[in-house]
Amino acid sequence: MPVVTEKANLNTKTANLVQKAKENKKVVYHTKDLNLWYGEGHALKNINLAINENEVTAIIGPSGCGKSTYIKTLNRMVELVPSVKISGEILYRERNILDKSFKVEDLRTSVGMVFQKPNPFPKSIYENVAYGPKIHGIRDKKTLDEIVEKSLRGAAIWDEVKDRLNQNAYGLSGGQQQRLCIARCLAIEPDVILMDEPTSALDPISTLKVEELVQELKEEFSIIIVTHNMQQAARISDKTAFFLNGEVIEFAETDKIFSTPSDKRTEDYITGRFG
Ligand SMILES: Nc1ncnc2c1ncn2[C@@H]1O[C@H](COP(=O)(O)OP(=O)(O)O)[C@@H](O)[C@H]1O
Ligand SMILES: [Mg+2]
């Protein structure tokens, strides 16, 4: 066989292997025929999505299309709204979290959530991060110190706060507060981090820091991020789901969504024709 052909074959072979490795990623969340109503309002319609581990999955779509509702069903926060009715299945690591027998506490130890507005507790920086581990029974000061440092480092904020760990978290800037909230998530050693427009209240530099952080964190965690910023989705995510009026219109590799979307409505949205 000529060398060139052999090399081409080898390249194809490598490409196939990489593709296979990608396909072999484990599914962390599998949503099947999920419907959700707020009273009469049908907010989520037949959502079917399989979300892979160690990827960043972006949820995009215009305001009111169900992005926050969807992400809040993934950690069963949405059921705090009394009028909510849900049908379908959400498998988290193959267990249906909507099942009556499923304990919501099991999710609290594996799924962290970061909100649009940073929401630190009115406590010291240290206590904000140590809070979760303490609830889970860790009392040893040295162990807590280690967790606090590791989590703050993981959230790329350690150097900025290491000399004032006992000061109130409210004294931090918005961007620092949001990274502190991410550190608080990391402290429980989560499996998944859900983020609902985590940078929409931040300045451009803090936004960039959080975006860089998200990309680092996916090596260890699975991240689902709602964003109305399409450039952000394009920059940081592996897969993108486009929501419209409570439906998933398209779900694919982010590159594909932003270069050759299959649905006219996706194209209209990403080219700024509405939303
Ligand atoms: N607590 C609630 N009670 C009643 N309707 C709600 C509630 N929260 C959201 N909705 C409705 O559900 C739809 C989806 O909202 P939401 O998930 O917040 O959208 P998004 O995050 O994409 O902006 C909207 O029509 C909104 O008005
Ligand atoms: Mg929202």
Asked, for residue 264, whether it belongs to a domain, the answer is yes
Residue 1 has pLDDT above 60, yes or no: no
pLDDT score for 14: 64
Q: Which residue has the higher pLDDT, 260 or 79?
A: 260
- For residues 145-155, give the mean pLDDT: 95
Check if 239 has its Cβ closer than 6 Å to any atom of ligand 1: no
User: Does residue 16 sit within a domain?
Assistant: no
CA-angle at 139, arms to 184 and 167, nearest 5°: 50
Residue 45, domain member (yes or no): yes
Identify the CA nearest to 190 among candidates 91, 75, 112: 112
List the alpha helices (DSSP H) in 90-203.
104-108, 125-135, 141-154, 158-161, 174-186
pLDDT given for residue 222 in this prediction: 97
Measure the CA–CA gap between 58 and 34, rounded to whole angstroms.
Answer: 18
The average pLDDT across 4-9 equals: 60
Report whether residue 81 contacts ligand 1, using a CB cutoff of 6 Å. Answer: yes
Residue 113 has pLDDT above 60, yes or no: yes
Q: Whose CA is nearest to atom 1 of ligand 1?
A: 81
**What integer pLDDT is reported at residue 13 of this predicted model?**
65
Judged by average pLDDT, the poorest of 97-101, 143-147, 202-206 is 202-206
181-226 confidence digits (pLDDT tens): 999 999 999 999 999 999 988 889 889 989 999 999 999 999 999 9
Q: Write the residue with the smallest CA distance to atom 3 of ligand 1.
A: 38
pTM value?
A: 0.89
- The CATH number of the domain where 79 resides is what? 3.40.50.300
- More confident site: 20 or 92: 92
Q: Is residue 202 part of a domain?
A: yes
Residue 6 in this model has a pLDDT that exceeds 90: no
Ligand 2 centroid, distance to 232 Cα (angstroms): 16
| pLDDT score recorded for residue 17 | 61
Domain count, the chain: 1
**Residue 242 is assigned to a structural domain of this protein:** yes
Is the pLDDT assigned to residue 18 strictly greater than 70? no
Q: Determine the distance separating the centroid of ligand 1 and the alpha carbon of 48, expressed in angstroms.
A: 19
Whether 275 is covered by a domain: the verdict is no
Closest CA relative to residue 247, chosen from 24, 59, 80: 59
* Full domain range(s) for residue 260: 28-270
pLDDT at 87: 97
| Within a domain: 95 | yes
pLDDT of residue 103: 93
Which of 69, 86, 197, 228 maximizes ligand 1 atoms within 8 Å of its Cβ, making it the mutation to test the pocket?
Answer: 69
Give the residue from 31, 29, 80 showing the smallest Cα distance to 55. Answer: 29
Q: What's residue 125's pLDDT?
A: 98
| Phi, psi dihedrals of residue 57, rounded to the nearest 5° | -110, 125
Question: Measuring CA to CA, which residue among 195, 186, 241 is closest to residue 219?
Answer: 186
Give tens-digit pLDDT for 120-140.
999 999 999 999 999 989 999
- Rounded to 5 degrees, what angle do the CA atoms 29, 33, 38 make? 100
Helix (H) / strand (E) element for 205: namely helix 204-217
Cβ–ligand 1 distance for 76 under 6 Å, the answer: no
Write out the two tokens for 46. 């037949």
Q: Is residue 2 part of a domain?
A: no
| Nearest Cα residue to atom 7 of ligand 1 | 38
Which of 34, 36, 37, 38 best tests ligand 1's pocket when mutated (most atoms within 8 Å of CB)? 38
What is the average pLDDT value for the chain, to the nearest integer? 92
Count of beta carbons in the 10 Å neighbourhood of residue 124: 17
DSSP-assigned beta bridge partners for residue 240: 58, 252
| Structure token pair of residue 159 | 């150097």
